[in-house]
Amino acid sequence: MATELIATDLGRLHIERLGSGSPVVLWHSLFLDSRSWCGLEADLARNHSVYVIDGPSHGRSDPVSRDFTFGECVSAAAQVLDALGLDQPVDWVGNAWGGHIGIQLAAHQPGRIRTLTTIGTPAHPLRTGERWTKVWPLVQLYRFIGPNPLLLKPLSDALVGAESFQLAPDLAKTVMRGFTGAQKGAMFHAMRSMMLNRPDMTADMARIAAPTLIIAGREDITGWRPEDAQAIAETMADAKVVAAAGSGHSSPLLIDRDRVLRSITDLWSLARGQRG
């Protein structure tokens, strides 16, 4: 395993590299960090070069002391790929936020993406009522008091799911440390920028040509379940939906990792067969 910090327009991003072979890039959910892959990165590295990115203001990457945009995140991701010398298409695996970055890369820079996997990645923006009655108050609460229990409970339910604390309590606690241990000012800017301003991804997803796997939790409490994902997949050129266990965006990584791993490797095998 090797690590490095790569300079981007959003500061230095921490990259961890494992294994050897064709390139795979992982980008985690908002609020969390690379610990949230829960060993999936090591499983994938058995036959691939896996590059695990900590997003801006997350994990071991530099804190960003201002608001930033999804477009800037996509540019930063492209800068990382260039710095790593990845001039061939990569297999992109993104959880929630990471899926959004992958969607925009696949839609607007298709030569960079061989296959796309999204896990717990809603295609729709926040509804207006949800934005101002639920999300905005949580962002402001965090701004003033940090990861207080009043904020931590609803957020952990939406991310790892209440069931993860029952089935894998130690793992759930470790994953949530990506949020509780973050630098507060930087995380506030990330929350305000990415949560409140998440764009509608439906048109971008419809234009993606790369083979795409959409993994959605059966009990996702935020409204992105397999039937929602299927409606989007039907607008795409080559997309498959897999239903996984869990009620949070990252739950499948904690409590259904075998299904996630199998689904991803099946996608890659099928894509190789189509290309061959």
Prediction pTM value: 0.96
- pLDDT by residue (tens digit) across 87-120? 999 999 999 999 999 999 999 999 999 999 999 9
Do the beta carbons of residue 33 and residue 58 sit within 8 Å?
A: yes
Residue spans of the chain under pLDDT 70: 275-276
The sign of the CA dihedral 116, 46, 32, 13 is negative
Range of the domain at 162: 2-274
pLDDT given for residue 173 in this prediction = 97
Size of the chain in residues: 276
Report how many domains make up the chain.
Answer: 1
The enclosing domain of 104 has a CATH number of 3.40.50.1820
pLDDT at 15: 99
pLDDT for the residue numbered 131? 76
Q: Under 8 Å CB-to-CB from 195, ≥6 apart: which residues?
A: 30, 126, 135, 139
Residues 258 and 225 sit within 8 Å (Cβ to Cβ): no
pLDDT at position 275: 67
Residue ranges of E strands in the chain: 2-8, 11-18, 22-27, 48-53, 90-95, 113-119, 212-217, 239-244
User: What confidence score (pLDDT) does residue 127 get?
Assistant: 80
φ, ψ of residue 252 to 5 degrees: the values are -55, -30
Residue with tokens 């990584």: 253
**Residue 135 has what pLDDT?**
82
